[in-house]
A and B are shown apart, each in its own frame.
Chain A
């Protein structure tokens, strides 16, 4: 049988899914135990027990200096920044994307501008943001917004333009004004696509968050990683990275579920 025709069953698919994760874990622990056998004080590839110990200390014991559970307060700080920035980006992208996608005049006015600004490397703007807005929360949120918003607007405007021309015409023959077309035809059909666009921007958003926290911050997951880096504390860094990955994956998964629940009609539209 040809490879293109072989479809794994449910069970096989589960094993296949687990395999790469397992291989990475095995490779890590083999390397770790080999290094630790040579030098028990090696910090580069810590063994599982020492990482568990660190997680216990970071997540479940009150930090004597601040009186907080560090991992919790770091997570809250980071998710707060990420959430508020993505909320701003999402709302702004929805409005501007529909306006640009639906109105040829707005497209002529803002389309090229958005395309150009989406090419500006956001990290290069970070010093400017720090200078202008100071080192507080605003500059970090602003960095994520600047980094994600232009791309989101551009993608969303494109999705609006991809709506079949027939639908816009049809709405007009039902007497719809521009506002009504936006409200009843464009916006509801853009929302599920907005979730797609948002999911694509989650990666860059985390990147900008960690970068901003690494450079100037006193809390957050990125701050912590870069702080303990000075002590080569891989037993903290690795669990933090795993935790960040888990958070990002959970958000992504949640958005996917949300999309399926809220827009049951969307799957068949996308399949076309």
Chain B
């Protein structure tokens, strides 16, 4: 649950400008979908939010403070691949965040602390639909289950912001629909601000509270290098989606979903964008 502010952010690699003039404000609890053609810098933007890369100019503020220059526990992430650790079982993957937090030296928990972490992890696993899979290794899980695990693992650590880099891009449509439901529920029940990169517009409009399109304004070959992509559209989803979890959001009953406001068609602006891409 954090507000994010981009203040005239640029990203350049040598002479090559990837992103320019990114200025925007993300309210706490928002679910932002970043869309745009391949190579428009949406993943670069996410990496800067993550702290993996630094903006060349401008700054990114989270809750009024400049983002630290490296990833930390405030910002969870789920990548399209390699998000979970192959050498840990499902349960160990989820417990890892807790062990890293509470055991600085050994990074392992024992006794009562371990049982508590284990119970919490088991609850979370049941919530994301992975009950009964605890002792499997990730390679024995399907792609959809691996991403569920990645979500559980990230949420276990209690980040303020969750960053998703095309997390469901490699999944079958049916599995993707299921995991979309889960994602909505998690967003509702936890107190997260979510930023998701996707190239699937229906996913963007189906999940997000706000869809932000990045695009290069100039695309002639001789201009490509020197003009980066910037925010070309900023669409609030209407009717407005709001998360219904209050301050006690984490303890919201399992399985509840928001009623009435699910997946409404977007406003006309959304349709225009759809036709363009």
Contacts and interface: CB of A to CB of B under 8 A. Distances in A.
Contacts of B70: 172
Contact of A173 (B75, B82, B107): B75
B228 interface: no
Interface string A171-195: 1111111011001110011000000
B227 interface: no
Interface in B93-112: 96-97, 99-101, 104-107
B87 A188 contact: yes
Contact of A169 (B50, B101, B104): B50
B67 to A, nearest CB: 13
B83 interface: yes
B249 interface: no
Contact of B157 (A167, A175, A180, A185): A175
B100 A173 contact: no
A170 B100 contact: no
B52 interface: yes
Given A173-B157, A176-B107, A265 B100 contact: no
A166 B79 contact: yes
Interface residues of B, number: 33
B71 A169 contact: yes
Given A180-B100, A180-B107, A172 B72 contact: yes
Contacts of B238: none
B93 to A, nearest CB: 10
Nearest to A268: B139
A176 B73 CA distance: 8
A9 interface: no
Interface string A143-171: 00000000000000000000010110111
B87 A263 contact: yes
B86 A174 contact: no
Interface in B119-147: 137, 139-140
A170 B87 contact: no
Contacts of A37: none
B139 A173 contact: no
A174 B137 contact: no
A264 interface: yes
Contacts of A171: 96, 100
Interface residues of A, number: 25
B105 to A, nearest CB: 8
B159 interface: yes
B87 A265 contact: yes
B81 interface: yes
Contacts of B99: 184
Interface string B63-77: 000000011110111
Contact of B97 (A174, A177, A264, A266): A174
A166 B87 contact: no
Main secondary structure of the interface of A (DSSP, over half): helix
A269 interface: yes
Contacts, number: 80
Contacts of A166: 79, 81-83
Given A166-B82, A174-B96, A189 B104 contact: no
Contacts of A177: 100, 104
B168 to A, nearest CB: 16
A183 B107 contact: yes
Contacts of A184: 96, 99-100, 107
B10 to A, nearest CB: 22
B6 interface: no
A83 B71 CA distance: 42
Nearest to A176: B100
Contact of A265 (B71, B75, B81, B86): B86
A166 B163 CA distance: 13
Contacts of B104: 177, 180
B71 A172 contact: yes
Contacts of A183: 106-107
B13 to A, nearest CB: 17
B72 A175 contact: yes
Contacts of B73: 173-175
Interface string A234-272: 000000000000000000000000000001111011000
Interface string B198-236: 000000000000000000000000000000000000000
A97 B96 CA distance: 24
B82 A167 contact: yes
Contacts of B105: 179
Contacts of A179: 105
Nearest to B159: A173
What are the nearest 3 A-B pairs in CB distance? A175-B73, A268-B139, A164-B82
5 contacts: A166-B82, A170-B83, A173-B72, A173-B77, A263-B87
Given A173-B75, A175-B97, A189-B87, 12 more contacts: A166-B83, A173-B159, A174-B76, A175-B101, A175-B157, A176-B107, A180-B100, A180-B107, A183-B107, A189-B85, A189-B86, A264-B137
